[in-house]
Amino acid sequence: MNYRHNLLKIFGPALAVLFTACTTVGPSYQPPSPAMPSQWSEAAPKVSTCGDAKMSAWWTLFKDPVLDSLVKRAMEANQDLRVAETRIREARAERRMTAAKGSPGVGISGAYTKSHTGENTSLGKTSLDLFQAGFDVGWELDIFGGIRRATEAADAIVAASVEDKRDVLVSLVAEVARNYVELRGTQQRLALIRENSALQKQTVDMVTKRFQIGFGGELAVAQAQTQLAMTMSQVPGLETTIDQTMHQLALLLGRRPEALLPELMTEAIIPALPPRIPIALPSDLLWQRPDIRRAERQLAAATAEIGVATAELFPSFSLGALIGLESIDLSRLVTSGSRFWSVGPKVKWSLFDGGKARAGIEASDSRRDRAEIVYEKTVLSALVEVENALVAFAREQEKERILQTAVASAQRALTISRSQYELGLVDFLNVLQSEQSFHQSQDQLVQSEQRLSLDMVILFKALGGGWEVPEKDEPQRISQK
């Protein structure tokens, strides 16, 4: 049609000038470059630092099939992970909504109006029916990049939501492993109590027989019975912990509280530490820990939002067109004589807004500064968490070695005191004290073994282990000074 050629002749040069003049206001994002130490300050036995440590499945270092199965099922059914997935879908949908603002919009409309004028008008008393149908097109031209900056921010928010899910995954794996280690440790403590109770029951029988034949006083019998009862009194508390821990594991797996009881009720040993534990370098925290990656993406989003606010200072340009049919007679609506069209650019520029736009920029600057501070704090907190985990792991290994010596010494002391008591060489109080020391040292040793495995869990959680770094992210690691 001729009018299309006329429109192109009128608006073609204007559009070319506008697109040539397109710019993107606001600061361009530069990833932060925090200074990171080259090595960890705390060295722990069994721990080796390497630059290519693969920590995505660190729990398999325990070589415990039950733990492996629990983690796998938790990844498949945990509700917190499913909630995080909904946030990713939401962020992606909102990103598409934002990007769509830069695309032309096409609409269709239709209307029927009936009008009536009074007698005292220039037209006199008339009635009019008007039928209309048409298409309208609107397109906001992103001359100063406000929409592009908004899309850039939305992209960063999507990435942050992905990192949020990964952070949930890191915590989930650590929680499953922690609860499992606590379960097995508590089961081991309960087994020791039952073993010591059997030993103390033998002591009660021994002193009772001696009392009955006149080789001892009733006080020794009462003391032995008291010690046995005190030892047995720990059983209900440990059984409660075992049941509650299994309930918590079931929750992490998205199951009913009693679902794992048949599977986990049979006691098993505490997951053993591997001979060597490979961990990542400090600089690897920047790409391995999801909370740091999330904070970096939030900083990128906040930077882009400055550009969105800055674009409010400039005029907005849009193109609009309307093509349709209009007739006072419905039967002639689709004839050529009913056609009408209109097209033209539109400019909108707020010359005075009471400082609203500049206040918006200032607010965006503040949010960006806050995001940068949060990022810096997140990095420092990560370093502290790893160093603390290494300190705890190293000290607990020292404690375990000392307790192993203590258990061996307490066992010898108990054997000697029982033999000497049967010979009448020592008082029964020596036997009671030896039994108590032996029981306490054994219990503390089991707790130390449990603590070591828990420290390994805490260490890998602090390192951000528990998820696979996508290959496409490998060359894009955040730089450091």
pLDDT tens digits for 348-388? 888 787 888 899 899 999 999 999 999 999 999 999 999 99
Distance CA 114, CA 130 (A): 6
Question: Tell me, what's the pLDDT at 107?
Answer: 80
Question: Tell me, what's the pLDDT at 114?
Answer: 77
Question: Tell me, what's the pLDDT at 157?
Answer: 96
Pair 466, 174: CB distance under 8 Å:
yes
What does the angle CA 381 – CA 384 – CA 273 come to, to the nearest 5 degrees? Answer: 120
Is 355 part of any domain?
Answer: no
Over residues 215-263, the pLDDT tens digits come to 777 888 888 899 899 989 999 999 999 999 999 999 999 999 999 999 9
The model's confidence at residue 63, banded by pLDDT at 50, 70 and 90, is very high
Query: What is the chain's length?
Result: 481
Per DSSP, 193 falls in state: H
**Average pLDDT of the segment spanning 312-323:** 84
Question: Tell me, what's the pLDDT at 354?
Answer: 82
Distance CA 196, CA 231 (A): 8
Range(s) of the domain holding residue 427: 38-100+145-314+364-476
Q: Check whether 1 has a pLDDT greater than 60.
A: no
Of the ranges 316-320, 397-401, 415-419, which is most confident?
397-401
Pair 110, 324: CB distance under 8 Å:
no
Nearest Cα residue to 300 out of 28, 102, 100: 28
Per DSSP, 277 falls in state: E
Mention every residue, 6+ apart, whose C-beta is less than 8 A from residue 241: 182, 186
Q: State phi, psi for 462 to the nearest 5 degrees.
A: -65, -30
Instruction: Provide the whole-model pTM.
Output: 0.85
Pair 428, 224: CB distance under 8 Å:
yes
Domain count, the chain: 1
Helix, coil or strand: residue 401: helix
Is 198 part of any domain?
Answer: yes
What CATH number should be reported for the domain holding residue 430? 1.20.1600.10
Is 132 part of any domain?
Answer: no
Is 54 part of any domain?
Answer: yes
Is 321 part of any domain?
Answer: no
Question: Tell me, what's the pLDDT at 9?
Answer: 47
Mean pLDDT of the chain, nearest integer: 86
Is 117 part of any domain?
Answer: no
Pair 207, 221: CB distance under 8 Å:
yes
- Could you tell me which residue, 51 or 363, shows the higher pLDDT? 363
Pair 360, 305: CB distance under 8 Å:
no
Per DSSP, 417 falls in state: H
Is 134 part of any domain?
Answer: no
Q: Which helix (H) or strand (E) holds 109?
A: strand 105-117
Is 246 part of any domain?
Answer: yes
**Average pLDDT of the segment spanning 252-276:** 94
